[in-house]
Amino acid sequence: MDGNFVYLLLQGIGWFVIAYMGFVILFYLFMLLVSLFQVRKNYQLDNTEPYEDLLDVSYSKPLSILVPAYNESLGIVPSVRSLLSIEYPQYEIIVINDGSKDDTMEKLIEEFQLKKIKKIVKQKLKTKEVKGIYQSSIYDYLFVIDKENGGKSDALNVGINLCTYPYFCSVDGDSILERDAFLKVMKPIIDSDGDVIATGGSVRIANGSAIENGSIMKVGLSSNPLVIMQVIEYLRAFLVGRIGLSRHNLLLIVSGAFGVFSKKWVMDAGGYSHTVGEDMELVVRLHRYIKEKKSNKKIVYVADPVCWTEAPEEMTFLKRQRNRWHRGLFESLWMHRSMAFNPKYGSIGMVSMPYFIFIEFLGPVVELTGYLYIILSFFLGGMNEEIALLLFLLFVIYGSIYSMLAVLMEEWSLKRYPKARHIVVLFFYSLTETFWYRPLTIIWRCQGILDVLRKKRGWGEMQRKGVSQ
pLDDT, residue 85, reads 85
- DSSP string spanning 53-76? GGGSTTTS--EEEEEEESS-TTTH
pLDDT, residue 55, reads 60
For residue 180, name the pLDDT band (cuts at 50, 70, 90). Answer: confident
pLDDT, residue 25, reads 94
122: buried, middle or exposed (CB in 10 Å: 19+, 13-18, 0-12)?
Answer: exposed
**Considering only CA atoms, which of 168, 327, 197 is closest in space to residue 258?**
168
For 274-292, what is each residue's pLDDT tens digit? 888 899 999 999 999 999 9
pLDDT, residue 468, reads 46
The residue with greater pLDDT, 182 or 10, is 182
pLDDT, residue 272, reads 95
Q: Residues of the chain with pLDDT > 70: what percent? A: 91
For residue 144, name the pLDDT band (cuts at 50, 70, 90). Answer: very high
395: buried, middle or exposed (CB in 10 Å: 19+, 13-18, 0-12)?
Answer: buried
pLDDT, residue 120, reads 78
For 288-331, what is each residue's pLDDT tens digit? 999 999 999 999 998 876 888 889 999 999 999 999 999 999 99
Whether pLDDT at 44 is above 70: no
144: buried, middle or exposed (CB in 10 Å: 19+, 13-18, 0-12)?
Answer: buried
Q: Which amino acid is at 130?
A: V
Whether pLDDT at 460 is above 80: no
Whether pLDDT at 461 is above 90: no
Residues paired with residue 114 on neighbouring β-strands, in sequence order: 136
pLDDT, residue 268, reads 95
**Considering only CA atoms, which of 182, 418, 416, 170 is closest in space to residue 305?**
182
For 30-41, what is each residue's pLDDT tens digit? 888 888 887 777
For residue 337, name the pLDDT band (cuts at 50, 70, 90). Answer: very high
pLDDT, residue 52, reads 60
Whether pLDDT at 243 is above 90: no
Angle between helices 104-112 and 76-84 (to 10 degrees): 40
DSSP code of residue 157: H
Average pLDDT over residues 104-116: 95
Whether pLDDT at 366 is above 90: yes
Write down the domain spans for the chain. Answer: 3-39+352-453, 61-346
pLDDT, residue 176, reads 84
Average pLDDT over residues 90-115: 95
Q: Which range has highest mean pLDDT (228-237, 418-427, 454-463)?
A: 228-237
Question: Which CATH fold would you assign to the domain 61-346?
Answer: Spore Coat Polysaccharide Biosynthesis Protein SpsA; Chain A (3.90.550)
- Other CB atoms within 10 Å distance of the CB of residue 87: 14
Cα–Cα distance for residue pair 405/411, rounded to 1 Å: 10
Whether pLDDT at 157 is above 50: yes
Residues paired with residue 440 on neighbouring β-strands, in sequence order: none
For residue 462, name the pLDDT band (cuts at 50, 70, 90). Answer: low
For residue 382, name the pLDDT band (cuts at 50, 70, 90). Answer: low
Average pLDDT over residues 403-429: 83
Average pLDDT over residues 168-183: 86
Cα–Cα distance for residue pair 118/95, rounded to 1 Å: 16
For 54-63, what is each residue's pLDDT tens digit? 566 556 789 9
For residue 469, name the pLDDT band (cuts at 50, 70, 90). Answer: very low
CA of residue 230 relative to chain centroid, distance: 12
- DSSP string spanning 158-199? HHHHH--SSEEEEE-TT-EE-TTHHHHHHHHHHHTTTSEEEE
SS3 330: helix
**Considering only CA atoms, which of 334, 197, 333, 189 is closest in space to residue 267?**
197
Q: Which helix (H) or strand (E) holds 260?
A: strand 258-262
The residue with greater pLDDT, 5 or 78, is 78
Phi, psi values for residue 384, rounded to 5°: -75, 105
Cα–Cα distance for residue pair 366/446, rounded to 1 Å: 10
Q: What is the mean pLDDT of the chain?
A: 88
